[in-house]
Amino acid sequence: MDVKYLPLIAAPLALAACNEAYDPRGVDHDETLLSVSATGESEVRPDEAFFQVGVENFGQTGKAASDANAQDIAEVVAALKAAGVPAKDIQTRTVGIQRIQYGDRKGQYQANNIVAVTVRDIERAGDAVTAATEAGANVFSGPDLRISDSEKAANTAYGEAFKAAKARAQAYADAADMKISRVLTIRDGGGSQGNRYVPGAPPPPPPVVMQTSRDAAMVEEAGGGVIQPGQTTSRVSVQVDFALVPK
């Protein structure tokens, strides 16, 4: 008797399972899924500058090169502070000494010390570069112009990206004689700000050396570089899933 009733119990269960199909994106049976990708941008004037500056010295002994290097970098740091850069915005990045094995300086020692400098008032960045150069800096890299409130700039770009995605979805809906019912999901596609590096990108280039004292003299005579902030572009992308329904 039990065996005869088993098929009758199993059949209703199978029908119920067919009627409960599940879409993880939440699309109802009377809706059409539309996935749209879009990008957004915002342009903001940078308000701070980052650069690396330092000194490179040579000597017949390691101690001679190192002592000269320590004295010169101290003068550069003092000049930066006098130009209005606080100690918290001056950070050592590289300290090194090595014996030269080739070229005209073979047998001598080379010492270097490089510091990273953040100037939070971009109008004073040129003065800071000039001060470091006049103090004897012969290694320089930058500047990297930045936005202190990068989150605000990115959020503006994300807002523009979503507007673009919705406009594109509306175009699809109109062409299909449908309308947007609701937003199902919004996925952050990431992005970039100006020339800032993102995870997985190559590291920034190392500082370059001003090869001759004549180069440094030319910078000094010119009064240092005039930094033009311009505009920094933040660019982001989003992917949005919309549900469409017939009009």
Name all domains of the chain by residue range, CATH numbers in brackets: 21-44+151-193+236-246 (3.30.110.170), 47-146 (3.30.70.2970)
On the question of pLDDT at 163 being above 70, the answer is yes
Contacts 24+ apart (CB under 8 A), 161-167: 161/38, 161/39, 161/40, 161/236, 161/237, 161/238, 162/38, 162/40, 162/186, 162/238, 162/240, 163/40, 164/38, 164/39, 164/40, 165/36, 165/37, 165/38, 165/238, 165/239, 165/240, 166/240, 166/242
On the question of pLDDT at 18 being above 60, the answer is no
pLDDT in tens, 85-122: 999 999 999 999 999 999 999 999 999 999 999 999 98
Is the Cβ–Cβ distance between 170 and 163 less than 8 Å? no
Arithmetic mean of pLDDT, 193-204: 43
pLDDT in tens, 44-77: 888 899 999 999 999 999 999 999 999 999 999 9
Burial of residue 86, with CB atoms counted within 10 A of its CB: 0-12 exposed, 13-18 middle, 19 or more buried: exposed
pLDDT at 25: 62
pLDDT in tens, 206-230: 433 333 333 333 334 434 456 777 8
Arithmetic mean of pLDDT, 146-156: 83
Arithmetic mean of pLDDT, 2-21: 37
Return the higher-pLDDT residue of 233 and 83.
Answer: 83
pLDDT at 23: 60
Share of residues in the chain with pLDDT > 70 (%): 76
pLDDT at 13: 31
Share of residues in the chain with pLDDT > 90 (%): 53
Return the higher-pLDDT residue of 51 and 6.
Answer: 51
pLDDT at 155: 86
pLDDT at 118: 94
